[in-house]
Structure 1
Amino acid sequence: MKIKLITLLSISILTFIGKAEAQKTKHVYQDATKPITERIEDLLKRMTLQEKIDQLRHIHSEDYDANGVVDLQKLHEFTKGNSFGCIEGFPLSSKQYLKMVYHVQKYMKQRTRLGIPVIPVLEGLHGTVQDNCTIFPQSIALASTFRPELAKQMSVHISAEMKAIGAKQLFAPDLDLARELRWGRVEETYGEDPFLVGEMGVAYIKGFRENNLICTPKHFVGHGTPIGGINLSNVEGGLKQLYSLYMQPFERVIKEADPLSIMNCYSSYDGEPITGSSFFLTDLLRKHLGFKGFVYSDWGSISMLYSFHHTAANSTDAALQAITAGIDVEAASSTYEELDSLVKSKKLPVSYIDRAVRNVLYTKFKSGLFEDALPDTTVAFKQQIHTPASIKLARTIADESIVLVKNENNILPLDESKLQSLAIIGPNADQVQFGDYTWSRNNRDGITPLNGIKQLIGDKVTINYAKGCELTGLDSTGFAAAVSAAKQSNAAIVFVGSQSAALARERINSTSGEGFDLDDLKLPGVQEELIKAIHRTGKPVIVVLVTGRPFVLSWEEKNVPAIAIQWYGGEQEGHAIAGMLFGKTNPSGKLPISFPKSTGNTPAYYNYLPTERGFYGSPGTENTPGRDYVFAKPGALWPFGYGLSYTKFEFNNLNISRKKVLSSDSITVSIQVKNSGQRDGAEVVQLYVRDLVSSVATPVQALKGFRKVFLKAEEEQIVTLQLPVNELYLYNKDLKRVVEPGDFEIQLGAASNDIRAKDRITVFVSQKELQAAKTLPGKTETRQQIENNTNISNDTTIKVSGIVRDVQASILSDVSIYTKTGETKVVTNDAGSYIITVKSSDILIFSKKGYETKEVPVRNNKILNVTLNKQSEH
Structure 2
Amino acid sequence: MKRKCILIFIAILLGGKFLLAQPITEKPFYKNPDAPIELRIKDLLGRMTLEEKCSQLNIWHVDDLNTADNVVFQKVLKNLGDTINNGMGFLQFDTKLPANEYAANFNAIQEYFVEQTRLGIPAISNGEGCHGFVGNADQSTVFPVPPLLGSTWDTTLMESVYSAVAKEMRSYGITHAATPVIDLLRDPRFGRSDEFLGEDPYHVAQMGVAAIFGLQGRSAMIDGNHLLACAKHFAGHGQPEGGTNLAPVNLSERVLRENHFYPFEMAVKKANVRTVMASYNEIDGVPNHANKWLLTDVLRGEWGFTGFVISDYDGVNRMVTRQHACLNQAEAGKKAIAAGMDFECPSSWKDYCFRFLPSLIKSGELKESILDSAVARVLRNKFILGLFEHPYIKTLGENERLEMQKKNRQIALKAAEEGMILLKNDNHTLPFKQNEIKRLAIIGPNAGEVHYGNYSNDKSPGVSILDGLTQYGKGKFEVFYSEGFKIYENDTTIKAVDKTPEAENRRIAAAVELAKKCDAVLLVMGGNELTCREEWAGHTGDRYSLDLLGRQNDLAKAIFDLEKPTAVVLINGRPLSVDYLSEKAPAMIEGWYLGQEQGIAVANIIFGKVNPSGKLAVTIPRNVGQLPVYYNRKPYIHESPYITGEYSPLYPFGFGLSYTKYNYSNLKLDYKQIIVGQPVKVSVDVTNSGDMDGDEIVQLYIRDTVSSVTRPIQELKDFTRVHLKKGETKTITFLITADKLQYYGPGMKRIVEPGEFEVQVGRNSTDYLSSFFEVISQK
Give the TM-score taking structure 1 as reference length: 0.81
| Mapping 1:247-286, distance limit 5 Å | 247-286=261-300
Equivalent pair of 1:667/1:725 in contact (CA under 8 Å): no
**Amino acid aligned to 1:673:** V
Q: Where does residue 489 of structure 1 map in the other structure?
A: 518
C-alpha distance in 1, partners of 2:286/2:245? 16
**What secondary structure, in the 3-state scheme, does the structure 2 residue paired with 1:636 have?**
coil
Q: Does 1:174 align with 2:195?
A: no
Whichever residue aligns with residue 685 of structure 1, its letter is V
Structure 1 residue 27 displacement after superposition:
1.3
Instruction: State the AA in 1 paired with 2:577.
Output: V
Between stretches 414-423 and 204-213, larger displacement belongs to: 204-213
Quick one: which amino acid aligns to residue 733 of structure 1? Answer: P
Matched, 1:41 2:42: yes
Deviation at 1:216, TM superposition (A): 0.4
Give the match for residue 759 of structure 1: 771
1:11 CA displacement: 4.6
1:743 is aligned, of 730, 736, 756, to 756
The residue matched to 1:720 in structure 2 has which SS? strand
Instruction: Classify 1:376/1:618 alpha carbon distance in 2 versus 1 (closer, same or farther; 3 Å).
Output: closer
Larger RCO (CA under 8 A, 6+ residues apart) = 2
Establish whether residue 187 from structure 1 lines up as the match of residue 194 from structure 2. Answer: yes
User: 1:568-622: per-residue Cα shift (whole Å, max 9, x none)?
Assistant: 11101110011101111100000000100011122221111012xx51x343xxx
Q: Tell me what 1:566 maps to.
A: 591
SS in 2 for 1:596: coil
Q: Say yes or no: does 1:162 pair with 2:131.
A: no
**In the alignment, which residue of structure 2 is the partner of 1:80?**
84
1:834-862 alpha-carbon deviations (Å, 9 max, x no partner): xxxxxxxxxxxxxxxxxxxxxxxxxxxxx
Measure how far apart 1:153 and its partner are: 0.7
Partner of 2:528: 499
| CA offset digits 1:775-799 (Å, max 9, x no partner) | xxxxxxxxxxxxxxxxxxxxxxxxx
CA distance in 2, matches of 1:63, 1:539: 55
Report the Cα distance in structure 1 between the residues aligned to 2:69 and 2:454, rounded to whole angstroms.
24
Distance of 1:520 and 1:94 partners within structure 2: 41
Shift of 1:75: 3.7
Separation in 2, partners of 1:676, 1:189: 34
Counterpart secondary structure, 1:405: strand
- Give secondary structure in 2 for the equivalent of 1:495: strand
Corresponding residue SS for 1:397? helix
Contact 2:148 2:593 in 1 (8 A): yes
Distance 1:173 1:9 in 2: 45
Is the 2:151–2:615 Cα contact (8 Å) retained in structure 1? yes
What's 2:7 paired with?
Answer: none
Do structure 1's residue 60 and structure 2's residue 61 form an aligned pair? yes
Alpha-carbon distance in 2 for matches of 1:46, 1:147: 47
> Match for residue 443 of structure 2?
425
Which amino acid is the alignment partner of residue 42 of structure 2? E
Q: Paired residue for 1:398?
A: 416
User: 1:19 — aligned with what?
Assistant: 21
Cα distance change on mapping 1:745 and 1:117 into 2, 3 Å: same
Aligned partners of 2:147 and 2:194 also within 8 Å: yes
- Which residue of structure 2 aligns with residue 521 of structure 1? 546
Match of 2:97 in 1: 93
CA–CA distance in 2 between the matches of 1:319 and 1:63? 28
The 8 Å contact of residues 292 and 359 in structure 1, kept in 2 or not, is answered as yes
**Partner in structure 1 of residue 663 of structure 2:** 650
| Aligned residues of 1:101 and 1:167 also touching (Cα < 8 A) | no
Whole-Å separation in 2 of the counterparts to 1:67 and 1:558: 61
After superposition, the Cα gap between the structure-2 partners of 1:631 and 1:417, relative to the gap in structure 1 and judged at 3 Å, is same
Residue correspondence of structure 1 range 389-468 to structure 2 within 5 A: 389-440=407-458, 445-468=461-484
Using the TM superposition, name which of 11-20 and 110-119 deviates more: 11-20
Take 1:118 and 1:384, find their aligned partners in 2: how far apart are those partners?
A: 28
Q: Distance in 1 between matches of 2:19 and 2:76?
A: 20
Distance 2:384 2:532 in 1: 40
SS in 2 for 1:80: helix
Identity in percent: 37
Distance 1:166 1:371, change over 3 A: same
Distance 1:43 1:691 in 2: 52
Q: Which moved more, 1:514-523 or 1:51-60?
A: 514-523
Q: Equivalents in 2 of 1:462, 1:381: separation in Å?
A: 36
For residue 303 of structure 1, what is the aligned residue in structure 2? 317
Aligned 8 A contact 2:131 2:146 in 1: yes
Structure 2 counterparts to residues 313-332 of structure 1, below 5 A: 313-332=327-346
Mark the runs of 5 or more structure 1 residues left unpaired by the alignment.
Answer: 1-7, 501-508, 620-628, 768-874
CA positional deviation for 1:386: 4.9
SS in 1 for 2:445: coil
Matched, 1:122 2:127: yes
Letter in 1 for 2:532: T
Matched, 1:720 2:733: yes
Letter in 1 for 2:409: I
Counterpart of 1:556 in structure 2 is: 581
Inter-partner Cα distance in structure 2 for 1:439 and 1:295? 26
Describe how 1:636-715 pairs up with structure 2 within 5 A. Answer: 636-715=649-728
Equivalent pair of 2:611/2:693 in contact (CA under 8 Å)? yes
Structure 1 distance, partners of 2:242, 2:596, is 32
- The answer on whether the counterparts of 1:691 and 1:698 sit within 8 Å (CA) in structure 2 is yes
| Contact 2:67-2:108 within 8 A present in 1 as well | no
CA distance in 2, matches of 1:487, 1:68: 61
Question: What amino acid is aligned across from residue 98 of structure 1 in structure 2?
Answer: A
Structure 2 length normalisation: TM-score?
Answer: 0.91
Distance change in 2, residues 1:383/1:16 (3 Å): farther
Distance 1:523 1:513, change over 3 A: farther
SS at match of 2:702: strand
- Distance, in Å, in 1 between the alignment partners of 2:284 and 2:560 is 47
Q: 1:512: how far off?
A: 3.5
My pick for the range that moved more, 532-541 or 427-436, is 532-541
- With over 3 angstroms needed to count, the CA separation of the structure-2 counterparts of 1:378 and 1:701, relative to structure 1, is closer
CA 1:384 to 1:104, structure 2 compared with 1: closer, same or farther past 3 Å? farther
Q: Partners in 2 of 1:694 and 1:160 — Cα distance?
A: 47
Q: Is the 8 A contact 2:167 2:226 kept in 1?
A: no
Give the structure 1 partner of residue 220 of structure 2.
none
Deviation, 1:721, is 1.8
Q: For structure 2, which runs of at least 5 residues remain unmatched after alignment? A: 1-9, 218-224, 490-498
1:484-516 Cα offsets, whole Å, 9 max, x none, are 11111222211111112xxxxxxxx44344551
- Contact kept? 1:164, 1:376, Cα under 8 Å: yes
Q: CA deviation at 1:668?
A: 2.1
> What's the CA shift for 1:21?
4.8
- Deviation of 1:720 after TM superposition, in Å, equals 1.6
Secondary structure in structure 2 of the residue aligned to 1:387: helix
Q: CA deviation at 1:162?
A: 1.1
1 CA distance for matches of 2:395 and 2:587? 51
What's the offset of the Cα at 1:65?
Answer: 5.4
Moved more, 173-182 or 95-104: 95-104
Task: Please tell me whether residue 197 in structure 1 is matched to residue 204 in structure 2.
Answer: yes
1:102 to 100, 107, 112: 107
Q: Give the deviation of 1:94 after TM superposition.
A: 3.6
Letter in 2 for 1:28: F
CA distance in 1, matches of 2:516, 2:750: 62
Residue 457 of structure 1 deviates from its aligned partner by 1.4
Which residue of 630, 633, 645 corresponds with 1:605?
630
1:566-605 equivalences in 2 (<5 Å): 566-605=591-630
Contact 2:423–2:656 (CA under 8 A) maintained in structure 1: yes
Contact 1:63 1:74 in 2 (8 A): no
9 and 668 in structure 1: CA distance in 2 versus 1, 3 angstrom threshold? farther
What is aligned with 1:846?
none
Of 113, 116, 119, 2:118 maps to 113
RMSD, aligned α-carbons:
2.2
Instruction: Encode CA deviations 1:535-581: one digit per residue, 9 max, x unaligned.
Output: 23333331111112110111111111111000111101110011101
Aligned length: 736
How many Å apart are 1:67 and its aligned residue?
A: 9.7
Contact 1:102 1:166 in 2 (8 A): no
